[in-house]
Chain A
Amino acid sequence: MRRVLTSFVLILMILCLPGCWDYRELDETAWVTAIGLDRGRENVLTVTLQIAVARNIAPAPGGGGGGGGEGLVVTSMEAPSLLSALEFTHAWIDCRVDLSHTKVFIVGRELAESDFTAFIMPLARFPEFRPTVGVLVANGRAENVLREADPVLELSPGKLWDQMTGAWAATEFIPRSDFRRVYIDTGSPGAAGLAALIGVEREKEGPPDPSHKAKGVHMAGTIPRRGGQKIEVMGAAVIEGDRMVGVLNGDETGVAKMVRGTFREMIKTVPDPRHPGRFLTVRVYPREPPAVDVRIGADGMPRVAVLIPLEGSILGIQSGEHYERPERVHQVERAVEKSLMTDARAALDKAQHEFGADFFALGYHAKQRFPTWQAWEEFAWDEKFPDAEISFDFDFKVRRIGILRETVLWR
């Protein structure tokens, strides 16, 4: 009898332990999928929340799409801080606002350029906010981006953001910019942060000019396109110290990713070395992690040599020239290396002379040369970086030639 009683009391205690304090009904919760932060109009900040309407994006019984109706609610407010805005929302949103499923955090460009860290970094302390959240900078106002961010190919706004930020692995022009990475880069000496750039589709078409332009010269908000969803991600914002110091286009972002070791693949179109006006298209992958050699010269200045080993396959030869032949493959390799070197020079020039910010994170390699943290801090990498002697070298090897052995010339 005593054992039964003891067991009963213990089970009762276990049932009581969870309590009701943290109990929350799913349908009484407003799941914020994206947060936008801009310089305020009537207060310090304009905070925009994109909230998923769960019942409208859940699959209908028997399969198919959502339950119909709007899948998203976007609401903006003027508030002194982000977290106070969350409380503020309860004045007009009838559910408890929850950030635990937030996928992206978007900062308007104006705010990012003046005060990036002061408003964003305190979120690291907030338990609901996850380090895996994507951090993006809007090429314009974040509020506009969120108002236009309506999924076209997806039902779920969460998946939309996952897919868009996850595209870093499929392309050169989107950096990997989760909160943890940006936070570490902005908090550590020796690197500048890279946040993906997001924008709304451009309103007006550019002037007619059908000459060749590499896709990577564009960035979010300037991509020459029509149709599809209204928002686009391309390029990167460079965060140095407590603010954004500039933006990188797609190609420059790609070079930064190659040096950082986060590059996965890209499709590169390069001029045909023998046929002006014709182009070669190749798919490029990393062959090995980049080799970064940092030395400190007798004058105390850093000398950095970066070797980026790449490989890839030929996808297209407009001219029909037989570059796929073993003895001529090297011509494609040199053409790709030359094109990448052009991108690298532009990116390096921006890093050293325009921004004065090490968005390649070369400082992380440099600090291995110092025995102690004091020696590393005294060296002041961030100050020496603009005058450092930095060289890039690409080593590209063609591995495959697609599914054609040769191109028969058109008659």
Chain B
Amino acid sequence: MSSGLPRVGFGEAVALLVVFLSMKVLISHLALIFPLGLSASWMIPLMHLPVGLVGAAVIVWLLNRFPGRTIVEIGEELVGPVVNGFFTLFYYVFFVIFTALILRQFAEFMLTGFLPETPLGVAVPAFAAGAAAIVFLGLEALARTARVLFYLLGFSFVLLLLLTSNLWAPHGIMPLWGPGVLALSWAAFSTLGVGVEIFLLALLAPYLPRGRVLAAGLVSVLAAGAVVALATLVSLLVFTYPVVREPVLPMFELARAVQWGRFFVRMETLFLPLWIFSALIGLAAALYICTAVAARALKLPCHRPLILPTLVLILAGAFTPPNFSTAVEVGFVVTAQWSFVPLGAIIGVLVAAAWLRSRRQRRE
């Protein structure tokens, strides 16, 4: 661990953000996208992209006006401690729920796919402990872990998609416009929350090389959009619509479907690291957001004392859904569907306040 302020390189930030933004494809996110976009579901991530790029640019514009500060300190300066207190509370509660639901889904994935007789009470704490260990080691450890594993994860992801190429059926994405352009646009709009993970950038910015924050945000959003679009497209090509609606874990089903002759079957175990490492990095990033936001709001010099209490809340949240399907449905509604409304509103308020303030300053 380094002394003083952590330093996060451009590549490390991009790796961390891309994994964090796109890990959702490994769990049940796609399963709930297909009923919205039908055979054109692969277009939804592409339709998200312009909004995601603009959103990232807006956040970076805000961050650049207050160099060296995170969204928490910026909020306090722009709207005062009371209003910002509510904003921060919202960030914290939202990301605790977000982490809890993602944690539950990854744990359920392990039980469904590999360890059917292992109790949930073992799988959930195992993932949580891994994420907590990374967050305890700090932001630098998290970012470097993401960077080191990024190539392995990227290679595994591309390999998995390519290994299904002998199963691709072009009719899977036909009719081309799925539910129609209007319904498709509404599906894209109502799932804009898929990009809320970009909020991590608002906490990373002070530790990134100056002048590279915008590039890190845009590259990450572009790469993550490509990952989600590719995963959606290949799932459609392999399972075809409407059958693609059925699997609760579409990417895992892709891994199970791989078949090249008699010997290259049962490949899902080969791709297990893709799920495990993505889960650990993604969960650690989400836990870091919770603890860093709380530490900054409470003006603590270090986020570590908050890891354990936050983890307790997350574990409680992870065990709250009575079953996997509730965790999946609630997870989608909370994280992907409407989360962009409150978060977007808060960012909008901060951006408006910053703009008004700069206008006032210019007048003076």
Q: Known contacts A17-B126, A367-B171; decide if A124 and B256 are in contact (CB<8 Å).
A: no
Rounded to whole Å, the gap between the CB of A226 and the closest CB of chain B is 30
Judged by a CB distance under 8 angstroms, whether A183 is at the interface is yes
Q: Known contacts A188-B243, A367-B175; decide if A180 and B118 are in contact (CB<8 Å).
A: no
Rounded to whole Å, the gap between the CB of A308 and the closest CB of chain B is 18
Let me know if A21 and B115 touch, CB within 8 A: yes
Which single residue of chain A is at the shortest CB-CB distance from B238?
A180
Judged by a CB distance under 8 angstroms, whether A228 is at the interface is no
| Set of chain A residues within 8 Å of B179, measured between Cβ atoms | 372-374
Q: Which of A17, A162, A364 contacts B169 (CB 8 A)?
A: A364
Judged by a CB distance under 8 angstroms, whether A297 is at the interface is no
Let me know if B122 and A187 touch, CB within 8 A: no
Let me know if B175 and A370 touch, CB within 8 A: yes
Rounded to whole Å, the gap between the CB of A295 and the closest CB of chain B is 16
Q: Which of A178, A365, A368 contacts B175 (CB 8 A)?
A: A368
Judged by a CB distance under 8 angstroms, whether B193 is at the interface is no
Query: How far is B237's CA from A300's CA once the two chains are assembled, in angstroms?
Result: 28
| Set of chain B residues within 8 Å of A132, measured between Cβ atoms | 257, 259, 265
| Set of chain A residues within 8 Å of B118, measured between Cβ atoms | 19, 21-22
Let me know if B266 and A130 touch, CB within 8 A: yes
Rounded to whole Å, the gap between the CB of B166 and the closest CB of chain A is 11
Q: Known contacts A131-B253, A131-B257, A166-B262; decide if A364 and B171 are in contact (CB<8 Å).
A: yes
Q: What's the interface size class on B, roughly?
A: 35 or more
Interface of A is mostly: helix
Query: How far is B246's CA from A187's CA once the two chains are assembled, in angstroms?
Result: 10
Judged by a CB distance under 8 angstroms, whether B288 is at the interface is no
| Set of chain B residues within 8 Å of A19, measured between Cβ atoms | 115, 118, 122
Judged by a CB distance under 8 angstroms, whether B239 is at the interface is yes
Let me know if B243 and A187 touch, CB within 8 A: yes
Judged by a CB distance under 8 angstroms, whether B279 is at the interface is no
| Set of chain A residues within 8 Å of B126, measured between Cβ atoms | 17
Q: Which of B39, B119, B169 contacts A373 (CB 8 A)?
A: B39
Mark B52-63 against chain A: 1 for CB-CB distance below 8 A, else 0: 000000000000
Query: Which residues 178-216 of B sit at the A interface, judged by CB distance below 8 A?
Result: 178-180
Let me know if B177 and A365 touch, CB within 8 A: no
Query: Which residues 313-327 of B sit at the A interface, judged by CB distance below 8 A?
Result: none
A-B contact pairs, 9 of them (CB 8 A): A19-B122, A127-B113, A132-B259, A180-B257, A184-B243, A364-B171, A367-B171, A370-B175, A371-B175
Question: Which 5 interchain pairs have the tightest Cβ spacing?
Answer: A364-B171, A21-B117, A21-B118, A370-B175, A372-B180
